[in-house]
Structure formats: C-alpha cells, structure tokens
C-alpha cells in the first residue's frame, strides 16, 4: 500500500514490546515476529522490509540479551526470531497471491509476479551487478556503496556530496570500532560473552540487511533513493551495540557481590 503504514505498524509493535516487556516470554516474541512480518507484507512488500525487520530484531534482541545467560542461547534466539519474521512475511505475501489469483486467475497473478521476481533479483537486468560481471561480494559492495552515497543526500538531491558521505561513513566506522574495542577489553576481563550477547540483535539486523541486498540487487540498485533508509542500520548498529554492551557491563559490575573480608587473617595491633 505505502511506506508510511508499514512504519506505523512497526513502531506500534516496538512500543508494545517495550511497554509489555516484563510479561512477554520468548514464545510471545516469536508470535509477534510472525505478526510483524505478516503486517509488513500486507502493507509494503519491497521498500521498508530490511528496515522494519531490523527494528524488530534490534528491540527484541535487546530483550533477549537482558534474559540470556550464554552466547549460544542469544544467537539461537535471534535465529529463531529472524526465521519467524521471515515466515510471517512469506506466508502473508503468499496468501495475498492465492487470494488474488482466486479472483483474477492464476496466469493473471503469478505470471507477472514471476516476471517481477526475476527482474528484482537481477537475472534479467544487466545493470544489477550480478556475479557474471563481478563476484557476489563485489555485487553486495557495489549496492551498499550506492546506498551509502544516497544516504548523504537522502534522495532529494542529484549532486554528489562526497564530504557528507564521508562523515556518515566515519560515524558508522567509529561506532563499530567502539563496539569491537569493548569486545577486546571484555575478552581480557573474561567477559566477552556479555558483549556478544548485547550485540545479538544488532548483528542479526545487519546480517538481515546484507542478505536482502544480496538477494535483490536490482531493487537496491534501481531504487536506492527509496531503499536508502536501510543504511540507518549499519550506520547506527555499531553504536547501538556498543552502548548496549556498555550499559549491560555497568549493570553487571553494579550487582557484583562485594568481596568478603578474610576473618582468618592475623590481626596486627597498632602497638606492635
């Protein structure tokens, strides 16, 4: 339908997660992930998917991080949430296709859908930077570079503000560097697991965006002025990971038990 209803539904879901976090189990988070994906497919199929999925994964991942005791549990939880969101998206879109084809006919619905799908994944677009012209890594890099360039002008200007783009890139790299520095320090203190747990949601969101860019290179390339919104994930995810890890480490340090004095130690008098 449009981009705005999808974002309204997304932020309403996030607000619900924050308000009801104390009463939501992981099973609730999975069910809400399916609903979030289904609403995204109903409202807006291609434009905002990476962004709305990432927002849900980040918020739900932070709730998971507050409850997880191991890195394995946190990563497994994020994999489950990502799969649930994707299942809701695919199921809702398939239901739209089936219901529409029941009214208009199979050929009238699925033939245009398959044609558009081939175009969006780049198999019929020579300008989509597919592996025949470059590696998959090169294709992803080219599309991300295009999105990064668009993020500097927000899609409203035809100029190339290279300095602004450099500021965006520097801001993103500093955030990721800060998160990795905290991970390095935590490893020396034998607390690296806590930092990994804190970043589970942000890492899942970043991977989701990269997979989406890889799966639909033509859409990313041709509609960069719209899909530019996804750049907010890798621009801000490093900072979000770093700050979440900082808060969690401070909370653990504040709740750590005070050292117990050794009552068996010999007492030395001042006179002695």
Report the half-sphere exposure of 266 (CA within 13 A, side-chain side). 4
pLDDT of 121 over the 80 cut: no
At residue 128, the pLDDT reads 54
Q: Provide DSSP, 113-171.
A: HHHHHHHHTTTT-TTS--TTTS-HHHHHHHHHHHHHHHHHHTTS--S--HHHHHHHHHH
Contact 53, 10 (CB under 8 A): no
> Residue 228 — pLDDT band, cuts 50, 70, 90?
confident
Distance, CA of 166 to CA of 148 (rounded, Å): 9
What number of residues does the chain have?
A: 272
> Residue 73 — pLDDT band, cuts 50, 70, 90?
very high
pLDDT of 263 over the 80 cut: no
At residue 101, the pLDDT reads 86
CA distances from 45 to 20, 31, 40, 164 (A): 28, 20, 7, 30
Question: Considering only 53-57, 80-84, 188-192, which range has the smallest mean pLDDT?
Answer: 188-192
> Residue 245 — pLDDT band, cuts 50, 70, 90?
very high
More confident residue, 37 or 154: 37
More confident residue, 167 or 149: 167
pTM for the model:
0.82
At residue 262, the pLDDT reads 54
pLDDT of 64 over the 70 cut: yes
Question: Considering only 19-23, 91-95, 139-143, 264-268, which range has the smallest mean pLDDT?
Answer: 264-268
- Summarised one tens digit per residue, pLDDT across range 76-119 is 999 999 999 999 999 998 888 888 888 888 888 888 888 778 77
CA distances from 271 to 19, 39, 127, 268 (A): 62, 78, 89, 8
> Residue 257 — pLDDT band, cuts 50, 70, 90?
low
At residue 69, the pLDDT reads 80
Q: Provide DSSP, 73-84.
A: HHHHHHHHHHHH
């Amino acid at each position: 339908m449009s981009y705005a209803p999808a974002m309204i539904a997304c932020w309403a879901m996030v607000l619900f997660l924050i308000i009801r976090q104390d009463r939501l189990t992981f099973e609730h988070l999975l069910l809400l992930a399916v609903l979030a994906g289904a609403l995204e497919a109903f409202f807006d199929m291609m434009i905002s998917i990476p962004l709305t999925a990432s927002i849900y994964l980040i918020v739900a991942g932070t709730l998971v991080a507050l409850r997880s005791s191991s890195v394995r549990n946190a990563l497994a939880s994020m994999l489950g949430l990502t799969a649930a969101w994707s299942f809701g998206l695919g199921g809702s879109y398939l239901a739209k296709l089936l219901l529409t084809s029941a009214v208009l006919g199979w050929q009238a619905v699925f033939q245009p859908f398959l044609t558009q799908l081939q175009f969006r994944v780049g198999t019929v677009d020579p300008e989509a930077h597919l592996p025949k012209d470059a590696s998959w890594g090169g294709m992803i890099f080219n599309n991300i570079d295009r999105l990064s360039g668009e993020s500097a002008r927000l899609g409203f200007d035809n100029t190339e503000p290279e300095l602004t783009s450099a500021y965006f890139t520097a801001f993103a790299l500093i955030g990721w560097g800060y998160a990795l520095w905290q991970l390095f320090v935590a490893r020396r203190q034998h607390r690296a697991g806590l930092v990994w747990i804190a970043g589970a949601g942000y890492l899942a969101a970043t991977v989701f965006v990269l997979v989406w860019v890889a799966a639909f290179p033509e859409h990313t390339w041709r509609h960069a002025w719209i899909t530019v919104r996804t750049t907010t994930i890798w621009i801000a995810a490093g900072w979000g990971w770093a700050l979440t890890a900082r808060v969690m480490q401070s909370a653990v340090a504040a709740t750590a038990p005070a050292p117990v004095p050794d009552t068996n130690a010999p007492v030395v008098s001042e006179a002695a």
